[in-house]
Amino acid sequence: MNKRTLGKSGLEVSAMGLGCMGLSFGYGPATEKNEAIKLIRAAFERDVTFFDTAEAYGPYVNEEVVGEAVEPFRKNVVIATKFGFKEGTPAKGLDSRPERIREHTEAALKRLRTDVIDLLYQHRVDPNVPIEDVAGTVKDLIRQGKVKHFGMSEAGAESIRRAHAVQPVTALQSEYSLWWREPEKDILPTLEELGIGFVPFSPLGKGFLTGAISDKTAFDKTDFRNIVPRFSEEARKANQALVDALGRIADRKKATKAQVALAWLLAQKPWIVPIPGTTKLHRLEENLGAANVALTTSDLKEIHDAISAIDVQGDRYPAYLQSLVNR
């Protein structure tokens, strides 16, 4: 797989990474530990060198799984993790106090079985802690050799600029896909201006863009999508038009819907690195195959025209979580 550099930072990673959250959190019961480790190692064998985790995925369990999985080839991969919630639990609220950041970093180094974190993100902007204090704390950790790069997640343009002035931001991680293009308004221009890389999470619309989910799909009771307005039965029925449009283009390209959706992201900017997640080997291989799908200018225009004509229904987060983004 080709490599990409996240902005002007010099941090080189595989053109697609692996989002590891779903192995432990968010989409139903956790994958059995040995199976999760096997999947992560299978990704490395297929040239993935960028692995994304967070203390909040579990909490803590996902960092431990990733750490054990990549330990045999640690020097050949980039690990990204995140801080920002009280006790690593989103339901308990935000906490980006400097002492909490340092506490998380020390614990994460142990869980990840490493002596340095390649990319440390603030998971969500904390309005109770000046972003300059957050960036300054990570700057100190970088000076101490415990962290290499600073990242932010779901941050607004103003917060990104303020943080970047204290400690250069290597990457922003936010949702971006064919059914969530909001970052194109303010975020992508800001990142391009400042030389910051972009790491889209949920690049397949939390699975919807694969075509494997319909209005009749029943999710596990612990699946996060049960409380997402965009995954209500009515919204899924309305949003099927987007998947159908993607399918027509995929058929012509002799690719899958997921591959076209990921190839579209890769075609947007050379400093964009999607991190699709999965628990299944065949889905992993399908996703990575997107790197070989070449979309022409004509293809991209067709996709743009088709998607622009569709009004995607439903908010991407329930109200209490929506308030935590773009601060």
Please write down the long-range contacts of 300-304, taking CB distance under 8 Å and 24 or more positions apart: 300/264, 300/267, 302/249, 303/178, 303/246, 303/249, 303/260, 303/264
Q: Dihedral of the CA atoms 46, 213, 88, 265 (nearest 10)?
A: 50
Name the catalytic one among 27, 57, 121, 176: 57
Phi and psi at residue 195, in whole multiples of 5°? 75, 40
Map tokens 């802690």 to a residue.
Answer: 129
Alpha carbon distance 41, 25 (integer Å): 19
Instruction: Give whole-number Cα distances, 302 to 252, 263, 296, in Å.
Output: 12, 14, 10
**What does DSSP say about strands 3-5 and 78-83: parallel, antiparallel, or unpaired?**
unpaired
Alpha carbon distance 246, 251 (integer Å): 9
- How big is the chain by its Cα radius of gyration, in Å? 19
> Hey, what are 128's tokens?
């109770």
The 8-class DSSP code of residue 94 comes to B
Give me the helix-helix angle, 98-111 and 131-143, nearest 10°.
40
- 3-state SS, 43-89, equals HHHCCCCEEECCCCCCCCHHHHHHHHHHHHHHHHCEEEEEECEHHHC
* Contact by Cβ (8 Å): 62, 33: no
The 8-class DSSP code of residue 20 comes to -
57 is catalytic: yes
Alpha carbon distance 202, 32 (integer Å): 22
Residues tagged active-site:
57
